């Protein structure tokens, strides 16, 4: 149990509290980046605001089994 707590806290410290070892450059002129961001935003809004549409698709797909 103590080991689990230590590992969990260590992961949180490394992820959020430690300074990064190096900066990562992001190419902001890449259209694929904006496409992926748009698709993720669309999926979050679609699933968050209208989850019934996805549930209908799942029921139709599962109905064939």
7-33 pLDDT tens trace: 999 999 998 988 888 888 888 899 999
CA dihedral 37, 42, 48, 54 (to 10 degrees): -120
In a domain, 43, yes or no: yes
Q: What is the CA radius of gyration of the chain?
A: 20
12, 5 contact by CB (below 8 A): no
- Confirm whether pTM is higher than 0.85: no
53, 46 contact by CB (below 8 A): yes
Domain limits at 34? 29-65
In a domain, 55, yes or no: yes
pLDDT in tens, 30-50: 999 999 999 999 999 999 999
Question: What is the number of structural domains in the chain?
Answer: 1
55, 62 contact by CB (below 8 A): no
């Amino acid at each position: 149990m103590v080991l689990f707590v230590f590992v969990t806290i260590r992961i949180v410290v490394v992820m959020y509290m430690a300074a990064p070892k190096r900066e990562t450059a992001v190419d902001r002129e890449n259209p694929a980046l904006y496409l992926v961001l748009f698709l993720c935003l669309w999926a979050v809004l679609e699933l968050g605001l209208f989850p019934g549409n996805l549930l209908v698709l799942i029921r139709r797909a599962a109905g064939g089994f």
